[in-house]
Structure 1
Amino acid sequence: MKKIERFRILVMGRANAGKTTILQRVCSSTENPEIFDGKGNKMPHRLVEIDIDAECSQRGVHKIEHELVFRSNLGLVFHDSGGFEAGSTRQFDEMSKFVVYHGATTRVNERIHAIWFCIPMTDYHRTVTAAEQKFFNECDTGHVPVIVLLTKVDALYLPALRGLLDEGLAIAEAKERAAEKQGELLEKWLDHIKQELGKCQFPPKGYVSLQKMHQESADCSALMQCTANVLNEEGLQRLLISTQQSSIALCVQYAVHK
């Protein structure tokens, strides 16, 4: 454990799942990450400015081997699988090979320690697609835990408001109750996702709902705590908790209990 210098996370999910924003919040940054190839060489500046959630025209610029690092927190290293969609056998095979190698390599500083799988609530009507089914049924991540992140939860506000208006509520009352209804919708879809992925051969180890990530003050402590809780090495827990910058309270809590 003393040889491990940085905590390494693979981030997966569909295009436009809000991955970049989450990483910025976790690292307390508003900047784009610096990108390095697998050998530690910094990539050209023009690539750094490209959003890793970009759609088709820029898809493929980022490779899963590339390291994404924010200057504000050099202790966290991220890898991005790109827009993970069904139907791309090549992309799935590349991701599987990456997980198998980096999950068990003897080069301890190249190992990935956790996987964040993002499911955006902008697509709440298709929360578990063939891509998710394929990954959780066919990709054995070994000892590397996978956590499902429900992203862009704020997108459920409008369906919640429309549902209340359809029930006959006046606009003022509907707005007052929209937040509560949004929470009910979130619970509904979270239960559905847990049920569907729970049937898979390699189900996730945890689930986290992320809200208001567009705000610089967004709270990521639940994500960091969930990630720490599913790690099977106390040394890795200690590394993650000491490296994360989203919550001083989390550091204190972990120090007291551990």
Structure 2
Amino acid sequence: MTETQSPRPTTDGILAECPRFRVLVVGRSGVGKSSLINHTFGIDLATVAHGRRGKCNIEDEIISEHNAYFVLHDSMGFEPGNTKEFETAKEFFRSRGKRVPLKDRVHAIWLCIKVPHAGSRVFETGDEEFLKLAATAKVPVVVVFTQFDILYSGIEMVLTDEEMKLPADQLRRLCSERAENEFEKICLPSLQNIDPAPRHARTSGLGANSNPDRRALADLIRTTLNLLGDTGDFVGKILSSGQNREAIWITSAIAQRGSAQANIDGSIKIGMKRYWRGIASSTKFPGFKLEKCLNTIHFDIVTPWNFNDPNKLLGSKQFLEKMQTITQAVVPSEGEVKAWFGTVKNIFGTAGAVSAATHPIVFPIVAGVGLSGLFIQWLSTVYKRTPEALRLFMGYIVDLTLLLDQLFVIVLALDPPNLLTQTEIDAALDKYVSGAVNAVHAEIREYCNDATFARICRSNRAEEKITELIDTHRVRWEETKT
């Protein structure tokens, strides 16, 4: 083993097996497929050569330079009695079925149906026939009801004069409840007649001049991931092994750009496969330098977030050093802070001893504080199982994950393809350093000290604390914002 070697990233093996999430999107013109794809996967179909509107060829692979982990197959839908279209679909399913390598299979289908008016037919005969065909081919399907906002607008138009006097928040809640009830009454019985256990989602505000319902998109992503991760019924029979299921699930979580929770879940699944589980007594790091271990962890955490980062800013030396600058503060024990960082007063702006409990240590990035010399020297040493090493890995995993969570929310506000620049990264750094970092570091110090280190190693459950910290301090925009 040489000084330049690093542990192999876990994502390398996963993406070698399943490098892209392959989805077939079916729906007639005007149903909102392009906007759905753009906002869910953070691309711009109008800039993709194969994405030109016109007659779709189900065999065409639509790939965008803005998202390396996603490939789209597009179909305009199927007319009843059109034997040629259905034979083409059958052949497509055969050529993309379980007999071909995992990377070439269709992993999921989204059948897009516009939410109908009351009394209108929900599914055309061709839709019903296609769903039966997909079931026969054993391809997972999510029925996506689009343009729910039009149904909501219809509810608004028939409000009484008395209801219009309600406060704005109560009025929105009333309309939402009525629209949801109408949706369930109109759409779900027809779907359940075709499939007694249907997977479905709905979307709103995906028009050219509309603000998308982010929570609805996140729900679609969650529904799809739940379907792909289902080991107990239909999907368990489709895929040949648990390993295949996991590879598809992780790649699909990486490909999407509409749910921070999916990114976090993907990071956790990847981390648990190798680094997080048993991190206090890891057998993966001995023989490697700490800096190399940290760089590998960095890669495995950044990859699942799949930001549109053409300039590789999140893998740059500058960003790595900023993350290390944040995390270095949690590494030394409370009594060793001065030895590691010199004059505490000059760095932290406080006199005397610094208590992690009463004055959590944090480096003001905006003030230009960098890496301490002793920390740099320590990173160049070979991994040893110590409280300092455990605090380093725990701190770095949590710090980077929570910072990327902040960055996700900032980038989400941009129009597809959600291009990442240094401006967004700096804003996320400022938010995290001025926000959760103090509490995170204080909890890690309290959890992992000399008195508890041996017990942590024996229990081998430090990853549970990592997951708990991430869950406690993440932004949670999906639960509160539409």
TM-score (ref. length: structure 1): 0.77
Match among 173, 177, 202 for residue 209 of structure 1: 202
Aligned to 2:141: 146
Question: Using the alignment, how far apart are the partners of 2:18 and 2:75 within structure 1?
Answer: 23
Question: Using the alignment, how far apart are the partners of 1:105 and 1:190 within structure 2?
Answer: 35
Aligned to 1:221: 218
Paired residues in the alignment total 231
Match among 90, 102, 108 for residue 108 of structure 1: 102
Give the structure with the larger helix fraction: 2
Post-superposition Cα deviations, 1:199-258, rounded to whole Å, max 9, x if no partner, equal: 6xxx75x11111222345542221222111111412211111122222223221454477
Q: Secondary structure at the match of 2:62?
A: strand
Q: CA deviation at 1:33?
A: 5.0
Match among 155, 175, 181 for residue 150 of structure 2: 155
Q: Secondary structure at the match of 1:230?
A: helix
Judging changes above 3 Å, is the alpha-carbon distance between structure 1 residues 183 and 140 closer, same or farther for their aligned structure 2 residues?
Answer: closer
Match among 206, 214, 238 for residue 250 of structure 2: 238
Q: Secondary structure at the match of 1:148?
A: strand
Judging changes above 3 Å, is the alpha-carbon distance between structure 1 residues 139 and 112 closer, same or farther for their aligned structure 2 residues?
Answer: closer
Question: Where do 5+ consecutive residues of structure 1 fail to align?
Answer: 37-47, 52-57
Post-superposition Cα deviations, 1:143-164, rounded to whole Å, max 9, x if no partner, equal: 42111101111121243245x4
Structure with the bigger RCO (C-alpha within 8 Å, sep 6+) is: 1
Q: Secondary structure at the match of 2:201?
A: strand
2:3 aligned with 1:6, yes or no? no
Overall identity of the aligned pairs, in %: 24
Judging changes above 3 Å, is the alpha-carbon distance between structure 1 residues 140 and 186 closer, same or farther for their aligned structure 2 residues?
Answer: closer
Answer with 1 or 2: which has the greater Rg: 2
Contact 1:35 1:66 in 2 (8 A): no
Match among 44, 58, 77 for residue 64 of structure 1: 58
Q: Counterparts in 2 of 1:17-32, with a 5 A limit?
A: 17-32=31-46
Question: Using the alignment, how far apart are the partners of 1:242 and 1:235 within structure 2?
Answer: 11
Give the partner amino acid of 1:251: N
2:85 aligned with 1:91, yes or no? yes
CA-based RMSD of the aligned residues comes to: 2.8
2:185 aligned with 1:191, yes or no? no
Contact 1:25 1:218 in 2 (8 A): no
Post-superposition Cα deviations, 1:29-85, rounded to whole Å, max 9, x if no partner, equal: 34525245xxxxxxxxxxx4x33xxxxxx3x3x211111122221211010112433
Question: Using the alignment, how far apart are the partners of 1:26 and 1:154 within structure 2?
Answer: 17
Give the partner amino acid of 1:182: A
Question: Where do 5+ consecutive residues of structure 2 fail to align?
Answer: 1-13, 229-234, 236-244, 273-482
Contact 2:122 2:187 in 1 (8 A): no
Q: CA deviation at 1:110?
A: 2.0
9-18 vs 182-191, greater mean Cα deviation: 182-191
Aligned to 1:15: 29
Q: Secondary structure at the match of 1:69?
A: coil
Contact 1:28 1:72 in 2 (8 A): yes
Give the structure with the larger strand fraction: 1
Question: Using the alignment, how far apart are the partners of 1:63 and 1:19 within structure 2?
Answer: 15
Judging changes above 3 Å, is the alpha-carbon distance between structure 1 residues 73 and 218 closer, same or farther for their aligned structure 2 residues?
Answer: farther
Post-superposition Cα deviations, 1:1-45, rounded to whole Å, max 9, x if no partner, equal: 533211100111233211111001112234525245xxxxxxxxx
Give the partner amino acid of 1:223: L
Question: Using the alignment, how far apart are the partners of 1:79 and 1:21 within structure 2?
Answer: 15
Match among 179, 197, 200 for residue 182 of structure 1: 179
Q: CA deviation at 1:170?
A: 5.5
Post-superposition Cα deviations, 1:68-118, rounded to whole Å, max 9, x if no partner, equal: 122221211010112433332211221122122212242433211001111
Q: Secondary structure at the match of 1:140?
A: helix
Give the partner amino acid of 1:110: D
Contact 1:35 1:67 in 2 (8 A): no
Give the partner amino acid of 1:208: A
Question: Using the alignment, how far apart are the partners of 2:222 and 2:105 within structure 1?
Answer: 20
